[in-house]
Amino acid sequence: MQTLLRTVILIYLALSNMSFAQDIDKKINWPTDIWPGITETDTALYSHLFKEIFISQGFEIQKNYVPFKRALAFVDSHQADFAGGTVKDSMPSLDHIQAPFPVLTTPVFAFYKKALLSKEVTSVQPMNLDILKNYRVVASPQLGASVGLKDVYEVTNKAQAFLMVVKGRADFYIDNKGELLGTISNNVDQLAGYDATQYDTSIVGYSSWYMISPRNSRGEIVMQAYIKGTIELFNSEKLADIYNKGGFIVPPELIRYVENLR
């Protein structure tokens, strides 16, 4: 029964995709923020991945750089075809369709003053999230929710988050590992008297990010094309090469999704 169901799903995706190619504008509008190693160049992870997924199926991707929240708003208002990643929806959205697997899973790190915590606390990796709930935490939008933190002050400017900790206006700045380390590296030279030995970073968990498309007929077909293309890349063993090239891992949940179809 499971084998029959998996076959039906794959046939449905293939037939739906054929209909899309014939009946709908092939230009996929993808608004996104600029993230180093992920979107900022045509060879960054998302750019490379989506090119392989969509271009190989005969579609054209139009990438437009906009602030993160605006990109998501464009999808929810049906003004764009594809955006992300977002944290996993707790329940289906009325405005968008979320992919059944994450496009990215990455470690989340915290930046803080060493004097804030004892060595006994920081020696445990990943750090116990309950500890952070007692402090002032600043993060990029959705970052706190991605690791289970609710009371988080959100900022869109990562440099601002870093400076808030250094200047004592926040206790922890949390972000995806690459983003956090890059933010620190890009801003320490601008701070007179900054002493790196007084600060530390620790892993606090892992975040998974999902792509979304608008909840309409076009959005459904865009998402089906995304799922179909991802499955094909995984089965051809090209998917791992794309992630490894950028220094990322194939999200475990994505692997489980595809393997469950077999």
Compute the C-alpha angle 140/141/144, nearest 5°: 80
pLDDT for position 188? 86
Burial 2-25 (b: 16+ CB within 10 A, else e): eeeeeeeeeeebeebbeebeeeee
Query: Do 100 and 111 share a domain, yes or no?
Result: no
Query: Do 79 and 26 share a domain, yes or no?
Result: yes
**What are 62's strand-pairing partners?**
29
Q: How far apart are CA 176 and CA 196, in angstroms?
A: 20
**Overall pTM > 0.85:** no
Look at residue 86 and give its three-state secondary structure.
Answer: strand
Query: Do 93 and 213 share a domain, yes or no?
Result: yes
C-alpha separations of 138 from 72, 104, 191, 198 in Å: 21, 22, 19, 19
pLDDT for position 118? 79
Residue 162's domain comprises: 105-207
Q: How far apart are CA 101 and CA 209, in angstroms?
A: 8
Query: Do 56 and 77 share a domain, yes or no?
Result: yes
Query: Do 80 and 36 share a domain, yes or no?
Result: yes
pLDDT for position 3? 52
Query: Do 114 and 203 share a domain, yes or no?
Result: yes
Q: Domain total for the chain? A: 2
Query: Do 7 and 62 share a domain, yes or no?
Result: yes
Interval 198-242: pLDDT, tens: 999 988 888 999 999 999 999 999 999 999 999 999 999 999 999
pLDDT for position 45? 96
**Where a domain ends, among 176, 192, 207?**
207
Query: Do 246 and 203 share a domain, yes or no?
Result: no
pLDDT for position 18? 47
**Where a domain ends, among 192, 207, 222?**
207
Query: Do 69 and 141 share a domain, yes or no?
Result: no
Strands (E), the chain: 27-32, 60-65, 83-86, 96-98, 104-113, 137-139, 153-154, 172-176, 199-214
| pLDDT less than 50: residues of the chain | 2, 4-5, 7-11, 17-22
pLDDT for position 120? 65
Query: Do 218 and 88 share a domain, yes or no?
Result: yes
Q: How far apart are CA 18 and CA 88, in angstroms?
A: 29
Amino acid at 215: R
Query: Do 169 and 239 share a domain, yes or no?
Result: no
**Tokens coding 217:** 């007929």
Which residue from 23, 28, 40 is spatially nearest to 74, judged by alpha carbons? 28
DSSP assigned state of 124: S
- Domain CATH for 57: 3.40.190.10
Contact indicator for 212, 82 with CB cutoff of 8 Å: yes
Look at residue 215 and give its three-state secondary structure.
Answer: coil
pLDDT for position 97? 98
Query: Do 78 and 115 share a domain, yes or no?
Result: no
Q: How far apart are CA 43 and CA 253, in angstroms?
A: 24
| Positive or negative torsion for Cα 255, 253, 219, 143 | negative
**Where a domain ends, among 207, 228, 250?**
207
